[in-house]
Amino acid sequence: MIKKPTTSEVMSVFTNAVAESEKIGKQIDETKDKLNTRLDLLETQYEYSLNMLMNLKARPAAQDGKIIFNETEKYGMFDTFGMTIHPKLSKTPRNLFNYLSTRGYLFKDNIQVTVNELPAPHFLDALKEDTIPGKQLYIDKYDTDILDIVISPDLKNPLGSLKCNMIEFLPFLPGSFNIEYINIYARENLVSPAHTISGGITNVGAQRLILSEKVDIGKVEMRVKLLYKDSTGQYPFGLHHLYFQEANLIPGSYVILRTDRNSNINYIYDQLAMKTQYGISSQESSKEWGIRYYASYDGDNLSHEIDISTTTNPNYVSMNTKTVFIYVPILASMMSITPDIRTA
């Protein structure tokens, strides 16, 4: 005799099937939302990349003699991230707002972020470590080109040390914004900044910013100037991540760069242009930076140092060489240098 299910058993199966169907429907909707967000992000990136490509075609050729660190042959003791070169790390930096457990990173989720005085929940995802499951990626669009961002950790429950001396930026639209200033307040004084970067950071890309000393963070204020307006008349802005880190840097870090000319070098002048985390300057001194120039490098040792010229005291390079190796001490993040090397 075949046993027939009771009415309650049939209803239980039906109820479970409905619940499972609703669960699957919810998962499908969540997947659709994630895909739509990712498609919007890709569409914004594509439009921005196309715009940058057209601008690049219209630009004049790059300044002769400019050495971009992430594009050139280099040696020494240093680390790189994106477009920057900086002092070498002795170990992996500690991420202030993410806890490294035996199962990977966990977001501390005890931070408040506002943009133009309004809560900015999407910005919290930028503070999350990239490997955290469920981290969402966003590009938000604004009607204004000025963003005042305030990041405030919970000082009553900090969940670990808040000491920081390195900030890491990874934007979705590199070069689409400037940072006009960053004010970092210490936990014990939320009135006067303990560290201020006021010179501005232009055309922010994938880069690291090295602070002169470790600061126990109580609050961070950052003003962003958006440069790119899309086809809808809005200003897109988004960060793949923004890390606040405690890093141990090795003193005495340096880089050796090779640069070549088509004919023999006659003079190398003291003045040079540099792009660092503090901005662009064309009035820097090689001697003040501790920069030295050599005609030879065997992979271990520099030799045949070349005397630097000044306007009042030119020093002719007597040896025949078309190649110069430049020794550059690294104290902060740097992007490029343009030495004044003159040929016949």
Looking at the DSSP bridge assignments, the partners of residue 223 are 148, 181
**171/6 Cα distance (integer angstroms):** 60
Alpha carbons within 13 A on the beta-carbon side of 206: 7
pLDDT digits (tens, 9 = 90+) for 293-316: 999 999 999 999 999 999 899 999
Q: Give the position of tokens 């303990």.
A: 194
Mean pLDDT of 25-39: 59
Question: Contact at 8 Å (CB) between 221 and 195?
Answer: no
**317/290 Cα distance (integer angstroms):** 20
Mean pLDDT of 282-303: 94
Question: Contact at 8 Å (CB) between 206 and 75?
Answer: no
pLDDT digits (tens, 9 = 90+) for 66-117: 999 988 889 999 999 998 999 999 999 999 999 999 889 999 999 999 999 9
Q: How many other C-beta atoms can be found within 10 angstroms of the C-beta atom of residue 317?
A: 21
CA dihedral 317→318→319→321, nearest 10 degrees, is 40
pLDDT digits (tens, 9 = 90+) for 153-202: 999 888 889 999 999 999 999 999 999 999 999 999 999 999 998 778 88
pLDDT greater than 70 at residue 281? yes
Question: Contact at 8 Å (CB) between 263 and 275?
Answer: no
pLDDT greater than 50 at residue 26? yes
Using DSSP's 3-state secondary structure scheme, residue 40 falls into: helix
- pLDDT for the residue 200: 80
Higher pLDDT, 149 or 16: 149
